[in-house]
Amino acid sequence: MDEIAESSGTPSVVPEVERIFSETGILSRSSNFEYRPQQQQMGRAVATALESGSHLIVEAGTGVGKSLGYLIPSILYAVSRKKKAVVSTHTINLQEQLIDKDLPMLEKALPVGFRYTMLKGRRNYLCTRRLHKAMGQAPQLFTSPEEAELRRIFEWSKETKDGSLSDFDTEPNHRVWAEVCSERGLCSPKLCGPASEFGKQFGPCFYQQARARILVADVLVLNHTLFFTQLGTMDEETAGDGILFKNDFVIFDEAHTVEAVASKHIGIAVSNSQARFALHRLYNPQTRKGLLGSMAHTKVASLVEECLDQAQVFFNQLEAACDDIVERQAAAERKRGGQAYSSWNELRIRKPDIVKDSLHQPLTSLREAISDLIKQAENKESATELMEANTRILELRDSVSFFLRHDAPGFVYWVDRAGKQQTIFTLNAAPIDVAEYLRRRLFGSRSSVIMTSATLSIAAGVTAQPVSRTAPVRPGPKSDAGLDYFARRVGGERSTKLQVGSPFDYERQMKVFVTAKMPDPREPEYNRAILHWIEHFIRKTHGKAFVLFTNMKLMHQVAQDMEPTFNELGINCFVQGTGTPRSIMLEKFKDDVHSVLFGAESFWQGVDVPGEALSNVIITRLPFAVPDHPLIEARVEQIEARGGNSFREFSLPEAILKFRQGVGRLIRTKSDSGIVAILDNRVLTKAYGKAFLESIPNCPVEIV
């Protein structure tokens, strides 16, 4: 590796990284420094991958300090080679930790100077030039309440630090914000930058200020959603030496979520609410406001009305067609003697043209009329506004057509409905397998890609024998081969793979209990058994517990049945899905040290509760995904179609990873301790059960 670095004329950063992480390195000057050989090992691996231009998948156990493990080598390498480190995370909490804590600390500690900033989507930023323009056109663009909201934004613009949505106490009205935020074509260096006419008079707009910081930054922090949104807008043929930027390299923290986020943003998703919003920005017949209203074009406004009417017809027909499919499926199931329901939230569409594309022609006519207006526009500003509006109409039209054609190879199509009244319908199309896309766009790049998380691996092999109920249970050894499953899912098979253990003493800090006998959930005794065991383990720690479910309906039923028990014990029980936002519920749980929290999907991962408040994690059921979501169903079908075993190749590994995430909620610091209770005896009775126990850290396991 030193030879590679020397051949480029720049000294290797690997020795410097090893010194920094050593027992006497510059980090040791910090009062809370603790030498962790695992962190040093990770830092060396990241530096080596960057210098060799290779890719790395590294699982770093909880407590390793993985953010510093990749930040320090990345900063040293980026500065010495004049490259840009792009750090992508899944959660806001981790972004804030990097920007507010880790990077400022390293700015003071490291022997090199560097610049860093947060990268947000451009529509997060106020464009002050567009704000000035909107203030001048307010009577034509907005209703009276919207004008009041515009004035609120104007006053806020005088006080805000960075001009982004996160600086608002109360987020602004979406329609008003859409007319003043930064938008492609309408907010550019030429129009809003420091050298522009506007910039010379008022200063560059907030987005152009952010863009200037982005261009000179050595380290950029953003989220996975924005990363894949940006990647999707870039031309593969002209990407060149970089992924998002020239001469960049990318680090994905919380990489266990990359596949799911990429799936959402590679395909399409278009809803009736999006269609209404795009059309109302042009003209709203009820308020007689909008871009066309300010330009007084009644003929084109009438075409907008026609599109709105046809959109209503199209989505009504879509709902009826979906209801018909579900009813026919339910009738067939009832005929076979099974239980069936006629309600639906997600419905897979298996054939093209589920309804007629009644939107294509009116949207095309509207585009043509707007194109004529562009030619006649009085000024370049109006022409640009219309061009951007036309682009949105084109995207709407083409997304609907793409969905209805149903002809993209390797894609799955479905409709979902949401909202309080279940009246928001979204057309979705996504690749069944994102590995090929990521293999091409990320791992096929000459720029290094580093993926890391505390939870990426499964046991390299799955035992064929059930666990003995009498023999001592010990999780088995791990190997880097356990990362092969994750690598295949994200297209990183040729990456270097490394597992770095946790410095925590799990033998002392954590104990696992497994129930030996548990009725099948379909049996009438199951409800009584689960109530008994949840109460049993909650009494052990007097609250301080997460109770993790895989079924929302069961969770709410159990919460209701246990209300008298919690009242008797004087314990507050917070239940997901009862109206309290997740973040507020979590803060209440942390503040009330003896409380209990019942959570489903989102509480299995990405939740950090260090200290006594969380001393007990109860897993009610192994988290196998029910293949009722169209994307999961399609992945299972794809594996079966090529003769594979979908359970072993997909369902089991996914369940193990989620199980590890759930168990991982318990021990967050070296002073934490507690218990994990598994109320699912399949870990003992099924051939695959041992794989779950092998996936967690070595600790005492007791069968009860």
pLDDT in tens, 205-221: 999 999 999 999 999 99
pLDDT tens digit sequence for 327-376: 998 888 788 877 666 678 999 999 999 999 999 999 999 999 999 999 88
> Longest Cα pair distance anywhere in the chain, in angstroms?
85
Q: How far is CA 667 from the centre of its chain?
A: 23
CA dist 301 and 283 (Å) reads: 6
| In a shared domain, residues 289 and 346 | yes
Instruction: Give the chain's radius of gyration (CA, Å).
Output: 28
3-state secondary structure of 627: coil
Checking if the pLDDT of 299 tops 90, the result is no
| In a shared domain, residues 107 and 133 | no
Rounded average pLDDT over 669-684? 96
Range(s) of the domain holding residue 355? 267-430
Share of the chain above pLDDT 90, in %: 78
- Domain end call among 421, 453, 485: 453
| In a shared domain, residues 517 and 541 | yes
CA dist 484 and 469 (Å) reads: 30
| In a shared domain, residues 327 and 418 | yes
Phi, psi (rounded to 5 degrees) for 9: 85, 5
pLDDT at position 236 is 65
| In a shared domain, residues 242 and 277 | no
pLDDT at position 434 is 95
Which residues make Cβ contacts (< 8 Å) with residue 55, sequence separation at least 6? Answer: 49, 443, 448, 449, 450, 492, 494, 495, 496
| In a shared domain, residues 85 and 133 | no
Taking the CA atoms of 293, 296, 297 and 298 in sequence, report the sign of the dihedral they define: positive
Q: What is the DSSP string of 31-45?
A: TT----HHHHHHHHH
Considering the domain boundaries, does residue 496 fall inside one? no
Rounded average pLDDT over 623-627? 88
Q: In what order do the strands lie in the sheet with 616-619?
A: 573-575, 596-599, 545-548, 616-619, 674-678, 510-514, 701-703
CA dist 208 and 199 (Å) reads: 10
pLDDT at position 239 is 56
Confidence of residue 8 (pLDDT cuts 50, 70, 90): low
Checking if the pLDDT of 417 tops 90, the result is yes
- Comparing 31 with 230, the larger pLDDT belongs to 230
Helices (H) and strands (E) in the chain, counts: 31, 18
pLDDT at position 340 is 66
Taking the CA atoms of 23, 25, 27 and 30 in sequence, report the sign of the dihedral they define: positive
CA dist 266 and 244 (Å) reads: 15
pLDDT at position 31 is 78
Location of structure tokens 């266990």: 256
| In a shared domain, residues 242 and 280 | no
How many domains does the structure of the chain reveal?
Answer: 4
* Weakest-pLDDT range from 490-494, 538-542, 605-609: 605-609
Residue 532's CATH number: 3.40.50.300
Considering the domain boundaries, does residue 210 fall inside one? no
Rounded average pLDDT over 673-695? 95
| In a shared domain, residues 272 and 168 | no
Nearest to 114 by CA among 83, 140, 141, 89: 83
| In a shared domain, residues 80 and 100 | yes
Phi-psi map region of 643: left, alpha, beta (phi>0 left; psi -120 to 50 alpha) = left
Considering the domain boundaries, does residue 630 fall inside one? yes
| In a shared domain, residues 698 and 552 | yes
pLDDT at position 530 is 97
Mean pLDDT of the chain: 91
Considering the domain boundaries, does residue 475 fall inside one? no
- Comparing 689 with 461, the larger pLDDT belongs to 689
| In a shared domain, residues 316 and 413 | yes
Nearest to 614 by CA among 543, 561, 553, 555: 543
- Domain end call among 430, 465, 482: 430
Q: What is the pTM of this model?
A: 0.90
Considering the domain boundaries, does residue 208 fall inside one? no
Considering the domain boundaries, does residue 280 fall inside one? yes
Confidence of residue 619 (pLDDT cuts 50, 70, 90): very high
Phi, psi (rounded to 5 degrees) for 287: -95, -15
Rounded average pLDDT over 298-304? 89
Rounded average pLDDT over 632-642? 94
pLDDT at position 158 is 94
Nearest to 605 by CA among 228, 223, 98, 94: 94
- Comparing 581 with 201, the larger pLDDT belongs to 201
Q: Are 489 and 654 in contact (CB under 8 A)?
A: no
| In a shared domain, residues 235 and 294 | no
* Weakest-pLDDT range from 382-386, 513-517, 526-530: 382-386
Q: Are 418 and 17 in contact (CB under 8 A)?
A: no
Share of the chain above pLDDT 70, in %: 94
Considering the domain boundaries, does residue 499 fall inside one? no
Q: Are 251 and 88 in contact (CB under 8 A)?
A: yes
For residue 45, the number of C-alpha atoms closer than 13 Å in the C-beta half-sphere is 26
> How many residues are given for the chain?
704
Residue 325's CATH number: 1.10.275
* Weakest-pLDDT range from 191-205, 283-297, 320-334, 490-504: 283-297
Considering the domain boundaries, does residue 176 fall inside one? yes
Q: Are 55 and 443 in contact (CB under 8 A)?
A: yes
pLDDT at position 329 is 87
Which residues make Cβ contacts (< 8 Å) with residue 74, sequence separation at least 6? Answer: 46, 50, 85, 87, 219, 249, 251
Checking if the pLDDT of 182 tops 50, the result is yes
pLDDT at position 7 is 47
Residue 298 CB burial class (10 angstroms; 0-12, 13-18, ≥19): exposed
Q: Are 270 and 396 in contact (CB under 8 A)?
A: yes
